[in-house]
Amino acid sequence: MPISALVHRALRRVHERLTLFGGWTWIAAGSLVGFEMLDLVFGTFVLAPELIPLVILCLALAWYFRRRLRWAWNRTRAAARLLRLRRRGSR
């Protein structure tokens, strides 16, 4: 395969992944604050529309980290519960 075809294929894949990431940020931002609230947030950016991508990215990252924090918290609780059950069973 020629180099130009490899570069074209790589660029197409990067473009596809960036497009998917863009959709993910919209969904994550909407699920974090609710889609009605998202409409209100965007309504306030009439004077500074260049900040909208930054706000969407921040909301998406907040959603992601909140999800990971919930996962870690549930995992810690399950481990503590398992430890208590093991202690109780060894008596």
pLDDT tens, residue order, the chain (91 aa): 677 888 888 888 888 887 777 777 777 776 766 767 767 777 777 777 787 788 778 877 888 888 899 999 999 999 999 999 888 877 6
| Cα gap 13→7, rounded to integer Å | 10
Domain count of the chain? 1
pTM over 0.75: no
* Residue-level pLDDT at 91: 66
